[in-house]
Amino acid sequence: MFGLTKSEVITDEKKIEQTLSRGVEAIFPNKDFLKSKLVKGERLTFYLGVDPTGATLHLGHAIPMKKLGELQKLGHQIIFLIGDFTAMIGDPTDKGAARKKLTRDQVLENCEKYKEQASKFISFSGSNKALLKYNSEWLGEMDFADVLDLASQMTVDQMLKRDMFAKRMEENKPIYIHEFMYPLMQGYDSVAMDVDGEVGGNDQTFNMLAGRDLMKSLKNKEKFVIATKLLTDSSGKKMGKTEGNMVSLDQTPEDVFGKVMSWTDNLIIPGFEIVTDVSFEEIETIKGALASGANPKDSKVRLAKEIVTIIHDADAAEKAHQNFEKTFSKGEVPEDVQEITTEHGSHIKDALVKSGIVSSNTDWRRLVESKAVTYAGTDELITDAYMKAEKDMTLRIGKKRFVKLNVK
């Protein structure tokens, strides 16, 4: 996938410029300094850290992972760091209240698939393979004296300058001491691994710069920070697990395609620029077409196919597109409909709740009352929330969900 057969550093200025520009919000201390080192052929070590606070990575993680992969393709050493220790603290970034603390078992269960999902963007094999590390290797070994020494590297005033802490103080919400420790511990990751640079989303800038400060004070070493742009929804909120509007990397091709098609039109151009490898020239053409009144759906279909290809492959993207057209444009029933079996004469709601297709009896009643349930293929409304299973049927629930009930 990556074509890495040797670890020579690539110094092509055009490739380096694109790596440092596309999808990048900011570079610290500055872009020119980092570029000069890359052009000279210095082999640097960059890392990306991810806390396993959920069972899957999502498209928000994919953006910095893609940037890390680009640096790997240039021949630099990269590290994919799983924050198994920091995940138990919880990153307070953008949080109006303290995160719920996770147990060690929850953290380990969450990160089981992370390496597999990250391998879509970075290579863990070959002569320039990515390293996989866990920050419990060093943070878990610190004693209280070590923690106090680390805490002496930053002031309370520095912490309180963070937007989310200042906001909590204004709203008289508590700030816990362990939350102050998070930027220090994430920052110490850089020191422990002795890296040259860190890649992360723009929302992680404070934490990444904490690592830069620690590197200077503890090792007298420069550390570069590459902050990537964020995908934000129409309200300006970043797309992610907490907000519930992000594409997860373990979703089916059909679900990924449908989720991208549900994005607002203002995400089309940022999506192409930040997530895909579509050339700037093509993106400018798409932008011009949209400005001239072209149907946004056509561009969104292209974007959805590009993203499904990245997460799965081109064949899956084409099938997902065909399925979407059948389901949404032509009103046809997709081929891979989920099937469940229920007893003759039983309430269909019981089978739907048991199978997890609807979350509860209340959810089912709400869907029926809002006219969101029909017989697939005919669009005949189901109006009785307590209807019984008398014969096999295929239901359409909302716009995207289909289920076939086999009655025995």
Backbone torsions φ then ψ of 199, nearest 5 degrees = -115, 135
CA-nearest of 300, 293, 297 to 276 is 300
Average pLDDT on 345-372 reads: 87
Asked if 181 and 152 count as a contact pair (C-beta separation under 8 A), the reply is no
CA-nearest of 226, 221, 168, 177 to 24 is 226
Contacts of 29 (CB under 8 A, 6+ apart): 222, 224
Mean pLDDT, all residues of the chain: 87
**What is the location of CATH 1.10.240.10 in the chain?**
253-329
- What pLDDT does 95 receive? 44
Question: Distance between CA 261 and CA 229 in Å, rounded?
Answer: 21
Residue-wise over 298-313: b if at least 16 C-beta within 10 A, else e?
ebbbbbbbbbbbbbbe
Backbone torsions φ then ψ of 300, nearest 5 degrees = -70, -35
Question: Distance between CA 65 and CA 367 in Å, rounded?
Answer: 38
The confidence band for 171, taking pLDDT boundaries of 50, 70 and 90, is: confident
Lowest mean pLDDT segment, chosen from 39-43, 312-316, 346-350: 346-350
Asked if 80 and 199 count as a contact pair (C-beta separation under 8 A), the reply is no
Sheet architecture: strand order including 401-407: 338-342, 401-407, 393-397, 373-375, 380-381
pLDDT digits (tens, 9 = 90+) for 25-35: 999 999 999 99
Asked if 188 and 214 count as a contact pair (C-beta separation under 8 A), the reply is yes
The confidence band for 97, taking pLDDT boundaries of 50, 70 and 90, is: very low
Question: Distance between CA 227 and CA 25 in Å, rounded?
Answer: 6
CATH architecture, domain defined by 338-407? Roll (3.10)
Backbone torsions φ then ψ of 282, nearest 5 degrees = -65, -40
- What's the full length of the chain, in residues? 408
The CA R_g of the chain, rounded to the nearest whole Å, is 24
* Max Cα distance, the chain (Å): 76
CA-nearest of 314, 224, 202, 304 to 256 is 304
Q: Residue 218: pLDDT above 60?
A: yes
Question: Distance between CA 303 and CA 278 in Å, rounded?
Answer: 9
- Report the first-to-last Cα separation within the chain, whole angstroms: 48
CA-nearest of 290, 315, 301, 289 to 263 is 301
C-alpha distance from residue 176 to each of 46, 50, 107, 208 (Å): 31, 22, 21, 21
* Residue with tokens 């979703």, as numbered in its chain: 251
Question: Distance between CA 291 and CA 273 in Å, rounded?
Answer: 17
Q: Residue 6: pLDDT above 60?
A: no
**What is the location of CATH 3.40.50.620 in the chain?**
13-228
pLDDT digits (tens, 9 = 90+) for 286-319: 999 999 999 999 999 999 999 999 999 999 999 9
Question: Distance between CA 159 and CA 164 in Å, rounded?
Answer: 10
Question: Distance between CA 48 and CA 383 in Å, rounded?
Answer: 51
pLDDT digits (tens, 9 = 90+) for 220-261: 999 999 999 998 876 677 765 555 557 889 888 988 998 898
Asked if 90 and 102 count as a contact pair (C-beta separation under 8 A), the reply is yes
**What is the location of CATH 3.10.290.10 in the chain?**
338-407
CATH architecture, domain defined by 13-228? 3-Layer(aba) Sandwich (3.40)
The confidence band for 91, taking pLDDT boundaries of 50, 70 and 90, is: low
CATH architecture, domain defined by 253-329? Orthogonal Bundle (1.10)
Asked if 372 and 299 count as a contact pair (C-beta separation under 8 A), the reply is no
Helix, strand, coil distribution of the chain in percent, nearest 5: 45, 15, 40
- What pLDDT does 247 receive? 86
* Residue with tokens 């080192």, as numbered in its chain: 37
HEC secondary structure over 249-305: CCCCHHHHHHHHHCCCHHHHHHHHHHHCCCCHHHHHHHHHHHHCCCCHHHHHHHHHH
Question: Distance between CA 246 and CA 19 in Å, rounded?
Answer: 24
